Each structure stands twice: as C-alpha cells, then as structure tokens.
Amino acid sequence: MPTGVQGPVAPAPAQRRTFLPFAPPVIGQEEIEEVVDTLKSAWITTGPKTRAFEREFAAFVGAPGALALNSCTAGLHTALATLGIRPGDEVITTPMTFCASVNVIEHVGARPVLVDVEPDTLNIDPQRIAAAVTPRTRAILAVHYAGHPADLDGIEALARTHRLTVVEDAAHAIPARYKGRCIGSGTNPVAFSFYATKNLTTAEGGMLTGDAAFLERARVLSLHGMSRDAWKRYDQGGSWRYEVLLPGFKYNMTDIQAAIGLWQLRKQDAFQRRRREVVARYTAMFAGEEALEPPVARPDVEPAWHLYVLRLRRQALRIGRDRFIEELAARNIGTSVHFIPIHLHPYYRDKYGYAADAFPVAYQNYRRLLSLPLHPGLSDRDVSDVIAAVLDVARTHRR
C-alpha cells in the first residue's frame, strides 16, 4: 500500500479553523418531533410507523413491496437465506465493496466468487461475471458502488442465460436510477442501507425490496421465524398465539428508527438536489487539474451520489494517496477511503489465497482513491474549503 513521500505533513498557509467531518447525518426538527411522538406513544418497537415507512419507501422507489430491517447487512443475509442459498453454492460478487456484502455469503455457507470491476465506474464487470459462472453458481450479488448503478442490463442478461438470481446491494443507491427506473423497483431482492452516513439515515437500519411472495417469506425469516410479529400479537384485537416456522433471525426495525426514516424519505428530493450541486462544483474545479480524476456518471444513469470518489493520477504527484489524505486532514478536511478491497482483508486473503493483484483494476484504483465530504448539510463555504484544500495539496506536491 502506498505511503508516498515520508516526512512531516506541510502546514497549509490558509485553512479552515474547524474540522469538516466527512459525512455527518442531517437531522431536522421534523425527525426529532416524530421520534418524540413515538416515544410518547404506546409502541416503540416494530409497529405502525415501521409499516408506514415500508409503504412510503416502496412507493418512493416504485417497488412491489418493502421490508424494514435493522441494517442493509440484514437485508442481504435475509435475501440469500430466503432464496435457499446454502453450503456448496457460489455467489459472484465484487471485491470493491464493504465487507458486509461478502460476509453474508459466508453466513449462509456459500462461497463468494470475486470478479474484477470496470475501470470507469468501479462496478462489477459483467464480462468477468460471465467467465466466473460454474454449475454451482446460484446468484450474482451486484453492488452499486458510490451510488452509481451497475450495468444491470448486462448482469440481468447473464442471470437469465444461466438461471441465476440477481441480488442488489443498494446501500449507496437511494435514489439512483438506471435507464429511467429507480434502483429497487424490480421484483428481485434489493437491499438498502440507512446507516448514519447514508443518503437516508435511521441511525442504523435498512430496507429489502422485492416481490410480495418473496417478502412474505423474508418477513417471517427476519423475526425469529415467527408466524406473527409483536404488533399483531399485542395490539388491540391481536392474538397471543404464534408458531415458529423456521429458525429465523432478529433483524426487525423499530418504530423509533422508522420515525426518523419517514422524514428522511420525504426530504430525499431536496437532499439529492444539494448533493448534485456539490458534485457539479467539485467536478468543475477538479477536471482541469492533471493530478486529479473526478468520478464518472454514465449517460444512461442518475447516480445517487452517495460518495464523491476522487482518484489521484499518481504519475503527476510526488506523494501517494495516504499522504494526500494526511495533508487534507492538516487542512481540517475529513476524508475516507471506499473501500479496502475484500481480497486484501486477512480472512478472505488467507482462506482463498488471494494475491494483492488478483483483481488488478480494483487493486490499482484502491491505491489512488479517496472520498471527499459529500452531504446535503455542506454550505457553499464548506465546499469552497474542500476545493481549495484539494487543489492546494495537488499543486504543492505536483511532480
């Protein structure tokens, strides 16, 4: 991994006086009042607000139905288990993702088969998927990296040819569109994340979309395998009787979380407008700097712009990515890296014997990328500060 030129980080001549966090949540008075209303009610766990959130979310993305859960990880795990994926099966996915996308494949006992990514979007490459399909392959788990939709036409065509299920990790992808349709609007399983840093947050939480019959089975599995949830048992007119139909999980969302989510959902259009404004300013200012490579947006998609992933052209700089991040931190700009590829983590590296360059596109891009602050709470001054700091570091350390 690159560390760049060694030595102390040079102080910036003019910088922010306060640190700019990478991605704080944007919570308004509406969310606070809705949570207080829930706390004052007779129901704080999975109940009426969770059901309302499911209905509004499904309508927002055009999904046949939605199941609110306590994380995107829970959504992915529940989806694979509901599909009956088990030991001996294989699931093809990408190394350019957070570990949860791949951990869930291990959780059901299947083998994750990693394939490399496309050099422009860093999404899974359909051509490489085709070469990785075997008689044991059961599903393709596609990740919409940074909020840019993967090549769903290519992926779905492969799935039809080989009779595979497409499961989408849409942790970054609300409210992204692919060729005019919202991510999550299909009948296949799609999992969304509402973690604290996401475009829509419930602090912790997630949503699984898909067709009604699939979600009915997934709902049972997501709450201990029980035939009735607590709201149906304890609310007026409910029955105390229930049956355990299979050994399920404890993955339900609470009404406290859903109370936040209801208002976050209603603010998505405004949030997205601000994200696009910030992206436009970043890209306009960075496009002319030879050391910087802004992210792409293909013409047939509308990215959710969860992340603004800037790539460094290392041949134009005297420092590497890690030192670049340190320099930005010295200028009070918070950043992150998305992601350390899966095959570099000790568990997967050692279990499957991966070399660092096993997936060269993912590996080489990882070594030169960083994520800049991008959220609807950024002021124009914040954006200007980020731009000034990035350009200052790039020009100070130009080769």
State the catalytic residues. 198
CA distance 93 to 205: 23
* Number of other CB atoms surrounding residue 182 within 10 Å: 21
The identity of residue 375, as a single letter, is H
* Number of other CB atoms surrounding residue 294 within 10 Å: 17
CA distance 90 to 352: 13
Which residues have a Cβ under 8 Å from the Cβ of 223 and sit 6 or more positions away?
46, 229, 248, 249, 250, 251, 252
Nearest partner of 203 among 20, 27, 21, judged by Cα: 27
* Number of other CB atoms surrounding residue 276 within 10 Å: 14
Sheet holding 181-182, edge to edge: 181-182, 177-178, 301-302
End-to-end alpha carbon distance in the chain: 20
Cβ distance 28 to 263 under 8 Å? yes
The identity of residue 267, as a single letter, is K
Tell me whether residue 3 is exposed, middle or buried, using C-beta atoms within 10 angstroms of its C-beta: 0 to 12, 13 to 18, 19 or more. Answer: exposed
Both structure tokens of 359: 């997936």
Residue 17 gets which letter from DSSP? S
Instruction: Report cis status (omega within 30 of 0) of the bond before 21.
Output: no
Which residues have a Cβ under 8 Å from the Cβ of 4 and sit 6 or more positions away?
317, 318, 319, 320, 321, 322, 323, 324
